[in-house]
Structure formats: structure tokens, C-alpha cells
Amino acid sequence: MDLPIVYHPDYVAPLPEGHRFPMAKFWLLYELLLKDGVAYDNQFHIPTVPQQELIELVHTNSYVNAYCQGTLDAKAQRRIGLPWSPALANRTCVAVGGTILTASLALQYGLACNTAGGTHHAFPSYGSGFCIFNDLAIATRVLQKLNLVQKVLIIDLDVHQGDGTAFIFQGDDSVFTFSMHCDVNFPGTKQKSDLDVPLPIGMEDDDYLQTLAKYLPDLLSQVKPDIVLYDAGVDPHIADKLGKLALTDTGIFRRDMQVLTTCVAGGYPVACVIGGGYADNLKDLVYRHSLVIRAATGVMSSKHI
């Protein structure tokens, strides 16, 4: 069975020249998957913009309206860190639709990947850290609203704590948030996930993978989720500009294989998003983002599913 992959051309929204968040990486990721034979055209699924009421299952009406209409004040825009444009507003909503679709496909096929997503710093009434709407939280609420799932586990292995996601689901027993992140890094003020595993600066592959193995199997057996949403950020990489950890390409791939094989072997559907990644060498960054899809393709074809 072929891995379902979600992509939309609108994932690429033009930003000013030299902006350190390269939207081109989304298109280049799509091209790389085709070029390397990791995926074929018939595997790609095209998301649509979700109805605003679905976004408002997580975010306030006033914030959603202000962002989509371009009327956020300058301070709120600076906190997001991305210059507003109609194209970016559309792209933001399409990417949320992408994660909703990815989660739905994961329930159907056991495993699916979005070529965007992971905007875990977005809070109900404001955006932060390049994150505008929290796609992980919105997808969770949509699946619950449709009675497709009850219990959700969010595994966040981006190098930065998923503070917005943690805040949104505090006190909600139907969603378990697990964040394994560099302790001394953005955000300066951490929120309380259901399980936070802060890591020291400079942690390398083996120590990282051993730490993950210490928590993941027990977490799955404890939570018994109807679906896992996996934020596969590649900013724990040693070459990442905003990371502070020291994983290699091999370490990132082993991490993704560890998460996916453990979940799938236990019978838990997994929806993957690519999360954060920041590097001057765009080609290397795009390759790192492809690793979770390469891992998922291997799992999908190895008769686990």
C-alpha cells in the first residue's frame, strides 16, 4: 500500500527576499520526493481550506478574523514573525486543512504525512514563533467533533517546546501532549505539557534515541490513543540555526523510524507533520524534512500496515 501524502501548491507563499523562513522549502520537498522516487503523483492528496468555524474550535473569532483580514496590530504581527499578506493568510488556512486531511487519511490507512504543518506555538488568541493557527490542535478538535476519535496523543519532537499546544489542551484528559525539546531554547516561558522532557544543549543521536525509547512505549500503552499526531521537526539537527541539539541526518531518520514503527506496531494510526527546520543551506534542510516521509514510506511498505 502506498503512503498517503498531503501537499498543496499554496503551501508556498511568497515572503520578502532573504526572510529566514523559506517558504520555497515546501515546493522543493515535493519535488525531491518525486525526483528520488520516494513518492509518485498518485500518492498526493490535495487539501482544501477548512471552514472558519473549524479553525474557531481552537482560536478565538476575533483573532481569526483579524489575521485573515490583515488587521492584526503591529505588535501581534511581530510576535508571529512573518509579514502578513493575502497569500500567506490563504497558505496558513490551506496548511491547517492539510493536517486535518492527513489525520483523516491516517485513520483510514494507518499512516499519512503532511508536507507542511506543526505550528505548535500558536495560542487561541495570538500567534507566535512563525506559527499562526495551531494545525495540530485544530485537527484534533475536528476529529473529535466528527466523533472519529476520542483520545489523541500528540508527540512533539520539534526542538522547541510545543507551548501553544500544551496551553490549549491543559486540563483536557482527552488529549495527551508529549514534548521532548531543548530546555534552553525558545520559548523562554514554557507551558506545562502532560509530559515534558527537557534536553540539555548539544545532545547527540544515541543519547536522544535512548531518551525517547525510555518514554515512548510506556506512553502509548498508558494513553492508548485513537490516533497519534507526530510533529517531526528537524530543528534538533546539529546544523540547525535555531536548534542547539546535535542530531545528524541518520539520527533524525532513526528517530522517525523509532516513533513510526513503535506506534504502527501497536496498532496506533499516525499523522505526521514536518514541523520546524531552519538552515542557510536550503537543499540540506529540504532533505532533512524528507526523512520522516522516507521513514513512513519504509514502514508502510514493510508489511507493518
Does 16 score more than 90 pLDDT?
Answer: no
- 271-295 pLDDT, tens digit per residue, is 999 999 999 899 999 999 999 999 9
Where in the sequence is the domain holding 49, given as residue range(s)?
5-301
132: domain CATH number is 3.40.800.20
What pLDDT is recorded for position 188?
Answer: 87
pLDDT band at 241; cut points 50, 70, 90: very high
Does 232 score more than 70 pLDDT?
Answer: yes
Coil, strand or helix at 127: coil
Range in 7-16, 31-40, 216-225, 255-264 the model is least confident about: 7-16
- Nearest-angstrom CA–CA distance, 300 and 295: 9
Does 92 score more than 80 pLDDT?
Answer: yes
What pLDDT is recorded for position 17?
Answer: 74
Tally Cβ neighbours within 10 Å of residue 81.
Answer: 16
What pLDDT is recorded for position 95?
Answer: 98
- 18-63 pLDDT, tens digit per residue, is 676 778 999 999 999 999 999 999 999 999 999 999 999 999 999 9
Tally Cβ neighbours within 10 Å of residue 97.
Answer: 26
- 150-193 pLDDT, tens digit per residue, is 999 999 999 999 999 999 999 999 999 999 999 998 998 999 99
Q: Write out the DSSP string of 164-218.
A: HHHHHTTT-TTEEEEEEEESSSS-SS----SEEEEE-TT--HHHHHHHHHHHHHH
Does 302 score more than 90 pLDDT?
Answer: no
| 118 contacts 273 by C-beta, under 8 angstroms | yes
Q: Would you call 1 exposed, middle or buried from its count of C-beta atoms within 10 A (0-12, 13-18, 19+)?
A: exposed
Decide which of 1 and 213 is more confident.
213
What pLDDT is recorded for position 303?
Answer: 60
Helix locations, 36-171, DSSP H: 52-55, 61-69, 74-80, 86-109, 135-145, 163-168
Tally Cβ neighbours within 10 Å of residue 215.
Answer: 15
Number of domains in the chain: 1
pLDDT band at 15; cut points 50, 70, 90: confident
- Nearest-angstrom CA–CA distance, 81 and 226: 34
- 93-102 pLDDT, tens digit per residue, is 999 999 999 9
Average pLDDT, the chain: 96
